[in-house]
């Protein structure tokens, strides 16, 4: 089964065509990043690799120091896919597989097969780096039940990929995949170094300093203060806020469905990491105003934050109260944030 042949199986449409076009415009960057990897893994035979083994050193193969870094559980990826309707997925597949005809692509999506593949995914680490305002590169490591031999065989039998030293490259696009290692698949939008393991140090340090490395959240995203995304946020005109980054943390509620669901409930909170505790104390008097501006902007981007949600200083950071959101809301804020640049 090839990576893109999944579209030939029947399934029900999830939303209207007009909603699909809207989703495509708002979610193309984030969706292409994850969907290209997901579709490439459909059809890999099942094996068993423990979560402890597959997630160990999940950032070690990264070659760039991301400006936006994420650690997400496999269940969130399943919710992510369910948040996209068939029209959106088909349009994204056209962007990924540019040599395929529209007639080949525009067939029903086999969502159950994609969900089955993602059910064997433990954790994904994702990094985004902007070279300029229009050029973004990404790399991701998918950790789960992806053994070396069956995974390599799946790529070898897939006509969409070609063998290169140390891994595979997509024939129609810029995706490069390293040979699987201990249940981990590293994918990048640029050719990886032939040395094999990647440099990893910058991403690993950022993941550790931001708290993502030790995170057990269902969705955890850290936006570095130097990134193009943060520079677009209306913190305060005329005031430079000395912070290191913004972190969005969300835990999937236990009452949510056991399958991928766009309406799955997550309990989210936002953390603004300052330079140090003294700086946090200095800026504490104006943080209510900062949070009022920031929360309004975030809500307008698709993540509804209740107006009564407060923010408090906790050591060197400011952290909001927990508020409920749905999976589709997180997908929307992710896409909107990435499309700011």
pLDDT digits (tens, 9 = 90+) for 225-265: 877 776 666 554 455 678 899 999 999 999 999 888 999 99
Q: What is the pLDDT, as a whole number, of residue 331?
A: 86
Per-residue confidence band for 160, with pLDDT thresholds at 50, 70 and 90? confident
Beta bridge partners of 192: none
Q: What is the pLDDT, as a whole number, of residue 69?
A: 93
Range with the lowest mean pLDDT among 8-17, 113-122, 179-188, 300-309?
8-17
Range with the lowest mean pLDDT among 13-27, 118-132, 210-224, 320-334?
13-27
> Alpha helices, DSSP H only, in 102-217?
102-105, 111-118, 148-156, 201-210
Q: What is the pLDDT, as a whole number, of residue 239?
A: 54
Query: Model confidence over 48-95: pLDDT tens digits?
Result: 666 676 678 888 889 888 989 999 999 999 998 888 877 777 766 665
Instruction: Name the most confidently modeled range: 95-109, 132-146, 224-238, 315-329.
Output: 315-329
Check residues 184 and 24 and name the one with the higher pLDDT: 184
Domain residues of the chain, as ranges? 5-338
Length of the chain: 341
Q: What is the pLDDT, as a whole number, of residue 222?
A: 94
Residue 334 has pLDDT above 80, yes or no: no
Secondary structure of 189-256 in HEC code, one letter for each residue: CCCCCCCCCCCCHHHHHHHHHHCCCCCCCCEEEEEECCCHHHHCCCCCCCCCCCEEEEEEEEEECCCC
Listed in sequence order, the residues at least 6 apart from 215 whose beta carbon sits closer than 8 Å to its beta carbon are: 71, 249
Mean pLDDT of 92-117: 60
Mean pLDDT of 323-330: 94
The CA-atom distances, in angstroms, between 159 and each of 155, 174, 227 are 8, 15, 37
Per-residue confidence band for 16, with pLDDT thresholds at 50, 70 and 90? very low
Q: What is the pLDDT, as a whole number, of residue 95?
A: 52
The CA-atom distances, in angstroms, between 46 and each of 6, 78, 123, 154, 166 are 17, 17, 16, 12, 23
Helices and strands in the chain, H and E counts: 12, 13
Range with the lowest mean pLDDT among 14-18, 93-97, 195-199?
14-18
Which of 258, 270, 276 shows the shortest CA–CA distance to 325? 270
Per-residue confidence band for 32, with pLDDT thresholds at 50, 70 and 90? low
Instruction: Name the most confidently modeled range: 19-28, 62-71, 90-99, 135-144.
Output: 62-71
């Amino acid at each position: 089964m090839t990576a893109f042949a999944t579209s030939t199986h029947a399934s029900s449409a999830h939303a209207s065509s007009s909603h699909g076009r809207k989703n495509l415009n708002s979610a193309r960057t984030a969706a292409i990043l994850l969907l290209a990897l997901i579709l490439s893994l459909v059809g890999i035979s099942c094996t068993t690799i423990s979560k402890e083994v597959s997630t160990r050193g999940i950032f070690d193969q990264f070659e760039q120091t991301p400006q936006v870094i994420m650690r997400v559980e496999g269940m969130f990826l399943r919710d992510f896919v369910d948040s996209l309707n068939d029209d959106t997925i088909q349009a994204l597949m056209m962007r990924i597989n540019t040599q395929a005809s529209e007639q080949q692509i525009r067939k029903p999506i086999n969502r159950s097969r994609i969900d089955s593949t993602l059910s064997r995914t433990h954790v994904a680490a994702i990094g985004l780096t902007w070279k300029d305002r229009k050029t973004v590169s990404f790399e991701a490591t998918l950790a789960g039940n992806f053994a070396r031999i069956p995974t390599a065989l799946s790529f070898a039998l897939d006509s969409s990929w070609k063998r290169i030293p140390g891994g595979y490259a997509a024939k129609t696009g810029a995706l490069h995949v390293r040979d699987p290692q201990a249940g981990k698949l590293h994918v990048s939008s640029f050719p990886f170094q032939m040395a094999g393991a990647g440099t990893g140090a910058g991403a690993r340090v950022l993941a550790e300093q931001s708290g993502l490395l030790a995170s057990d959240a269902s969705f955890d995203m850290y936006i570095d203060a130097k990134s193009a995304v943060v520079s677009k946020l209306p913190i305060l005109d005329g005031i430079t806020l000395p912070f290191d980054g913004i972190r969005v943390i969300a835990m999937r509620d236990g009452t949510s469905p056991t399958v991928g669901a766009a309406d799955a409930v997550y309990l989210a909170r936002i953390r603004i990491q300052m330079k140090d505790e003294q700086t946090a104390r200095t800026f504490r008097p104006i943080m209510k105003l900062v949070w009022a501006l920031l929360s309004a902007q975030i809500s307008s981007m698709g993540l509804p934050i209740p107006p009564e949600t407060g923010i408090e200083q906790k050591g060197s950071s400011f952290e909001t109260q927990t508020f409920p959101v749905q999976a589709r809301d997180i997908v929307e804020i992710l896409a909107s944030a990435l499309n700011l640049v």
